Structure 1
């Protein structure tokens, strides 16, 4: 009896895909799920009603193809982002992963390379591989930060065609100074590098943390990607988007599938954006729970990475796998992201956070290095 991976590898798949496993976090039925950075507060009842009403209206026209240009949605997204953006600056797809895939299809491919800075979002190399794009890695310092001069030097030295900058970074939670983005952009001039700043968790940043949206004017190779999965509590709706120069969106039109955003998806997203204030009302509470986790972990003597996101990376663990399993046995699922001595936990509700902290404190002392 062979395992699924062995059977898969008997097929004539591309060599760069051979031996790989699909991306995905464990989906385990336990009381408290704090492993994939979801918004644990859900969609408010009145917003759910508005979404249902909008979807019902879209259902009446399901015999027709949706608006291929998702014009109304782009207008709403531009209004939400501000910074003088218009619908021409916006692109959207089924989650930010598909947005990034479109970018790689348009600007990557065989003979081209993308550059990331691990530990960072683990989909970047997978997206590169699936599009035939080479993937290179740069360096972070011991605090998981990026130094502007060092990072820019690596961009220039590699001649990468696409550069991934994640801010706040997943899985560390650390945000980037705009100096890093601007110097990386300038360093990519010779290779005409597309620079992507992945701001999936931007709404959870501390007050005063800048967004790369401020740098868009005059930088036609700069892309800022966002998602409605996190702060908007719409992970199940699958809507990601980006802001960039209009010519970037024109390039992505060349590689998208026809009518790639369904009428249901467009209706859901527009209804959510119309009620964005109510959907984002829980962001401050999530930030409070994140900061409470940071305080609690610090009080246990565990080193914590500064977080501008809705999750916290903590270290100091002799055996993170055992801690992960003991928490799971206690009904709390968090994430082992593969960084030695570390685990990551999503900020939950007040009750979920309390349960996590109490469970961790009860078992952590013998395993602290």
Structure 2
């Protein structure tokens, strides 16, 4: 069988592996930040009926500009944030990853730089690589916060064309205050006209308000969001951005035609029509997140503050061994490569109970005989 490196692939792809969590079977899977609650049966029936309604027209291309869906998303964001958002400020694509890819295609590319604050969502650096954009990492401090003084310095030095800010941050969990985003935005604009992208995939889980209102009057600021997490629709693959209408015009220059299928658009509209029901699960997950943080700390772990649907905890002398030990107890979580830390998604109460039992057992097994907590 021909290996990738035997093919004439781009040099930066040689020796690389595809992005993704290990596809392993485990009794409890808490490794990819899925919403653990399946769609309620009335919604499933409504979706099936909507597909039946549109199926007769599948010989035709979908609405290339997803106008109804963008209007629906604008209405949802307006209600959720209390800030008026119009359909021309919204763009939708196949998950927020495609939205990010389109932003890199429009504003990044060869001889351009993108800067992000690591550790963070690893797809940002991968999309930069795939679009030929130079990736510049700015490391967070020991508590995984952004050092604003260091950030201002590196922005002035590197003069990036794109800046990525993840809030709440994945995998570490904490959201960034609006004042800090504004400081970073202003610093980025002093260096050069620069697009600042706030990745708000987990925004609905945060105790902080959405950063969408900051877009007003800032044409170089973009907030990306998704229906995969809070809406529990990861399989639907719908993400979107909120920005100045000029940004929407720019990404349409690079989007593929008819990139969102008729079925995807129809099902996303049904989910938006039932948003109150679906978002009812968010408070359950927030409650469980708080419970997990308290109990992990009682066990003896150091747990990072989280505004998301997951928690990062440690420290571990050997993260790979700790990850495997938890898997041996039937619980699959994520090793994101953060030194001495692992990340667990928030599941159902029963799944979280199993995870906490496993975490307690692993902590006990790692403790030398005769010692106490």
- TM-score under structure 1 normalisation? 0.96
Distance (Å, rounded) in 2 between the aligned partners of 1:214 and 1:267: 28
Does the aligned pair in 2 maintain the 1:318–1:367 contact within 8 Å?
no
Cα separation, partners in 2 of 1:368 and 1:101, compared to 1, 3 Å: farther
Does the aligned pair in 2 maintain the 1:168–1:308 contact within 8 Å?
yes
Displacement of 1:139 in angstroms is: 2.1
The corresponding residue for 1:13 is 9
The corresponding residue for 2:165 is 165
Distance (Å, rounded) in 2 between the aligned partners of 1:168 and 1:145: 11
Displacement of 1:362 in angstroms is: 1.4
Distance (Å, rounded) in 2 between the aligned partners of 1:123 and 1:233: 21
- TM-score under structure 2 normalisation? 0.95
Distance (Å, rounded) in 2 between the aligned partners of 1:217 and 1:156: 24
Alignment counterpart, residue 43 of structure 2, candidates 42, 47, 64:
47
Cα separation, partners in 2 of 1:278 and 1:131, compared to 1, 3 Å: same
User: 1:73-152 maps to which residues of 2 (within 5 A)?
Assistant: 73-82=69-78, 83-152=83-152
Partner deviation per Cα, 1:141-181 (whole Å, 9 max, x = no partner): 11101133432332222100000000000000010011121
Partner deviation per Cα, 1:274-301 (whole Å, 9 max, x = no partner): 1000011110111111111101110011
The corresponding residue for 2:350 is 351
3-state SS, counterpart of residue 241 of structure 1: strand
3-state SS, counterpart of residue 142 of structure 2: coil
Distance (Å, rounded) in 2 between the aligned partners of 1:69 and 1:28: 38
3-state SS, counterpart of residue 325 of structure 1: helix
The corresponding residue for 2:257 is 258
Quote the RMSD (CA, aligned, Å): 1.3
Query: Mind listing any 5+ residue stretches in structure 2 that lack a counterpart?
Result: 369-373
Distance (Å, rounded) in 2 between the aligned partners of 1:43 and 1:241: 21
Partner deviation per Cα, 1:41-95 (whole Å, 9 max, x = no partner): 1211111111111122121110000001101100010011111111000011001
Does the aligned pair in 2 maintain the 1:37–1:230 contact within 8 Å?
yes
Distance (Å, rounded) in 2 between the aligned partners of 1:158 and 1:178: 23
Distance (Å, rounded) in 1 between the aligned partners of 2:58 and 2:303: 49
The corresponding residue for 1:204 is 205
Displacement of 1:366 in angstroms is: 4.0
Aligned residues: 363
Distance (Å, rounded) in 1 between the aligned partners of 2:195 and 2:367: 42
Name the stretch that deviates more: 60-69 or 210-219: 210-219
The corresponding residue for 1:284 is 283
Name the stretch that deviates more: 243-252 or 52-61: 52-61
Query: Mind listing any 5+ residue stretches in structure 1 that lack a counterpart?
Result: none
